[in-house]
Amino acid sequence: MRFQVMIDGINSHATIPGKLDMHLAPMKNPVTGEDELATLNKPTGFTSQIQELCTTSAFKFDGEDLSVDFPGKYAEFCPFEYSN
């Protein structure tokens, strides 16, 4: 199964055909409609110390026992590096 991932901060997206469609987007100011940029600073963060706060313009997952569709929900983006 082919998948696509585009990493671009709060504009990132990932797609696995027939399984996952996830698109991040900036939060919107409810009064002006303009992008509302925000970061979360966690000095002792476990996976990262700074997260960019955003929303999902699309988030749909279809699995064998679980299917969800949650667009417009809270999301975070942060680069991280994993090693063991």
Taking a C-beta distance cutoff of 8 angstroms, is the pair 79, 52 a contact?
no
The Cα 76–Cα 26 span in angstroms is 10
pTM score: 0.84
The Cα 30–Cα 36 span in angstroms is 9
- Give tens-digit pLDDT for 11-32: 999 999 999 999 999 999 999 9
- Give tens-digit pLDDT for 40-61: 999 988 888 899 999 999 999 9
DSSP 33: -
- Whether pLDDT at 82 is above 70: yes
Long-range contacts, stretch 40-44, CB < 8 angstroms, 24+ apart? 40/76
- pLDDT band at residue 1 using 50, 70 and 90 as cut-offs: low
Q: Would the CA dihedral through 37, 40, 43, 46 be positive or negative?
A: negative
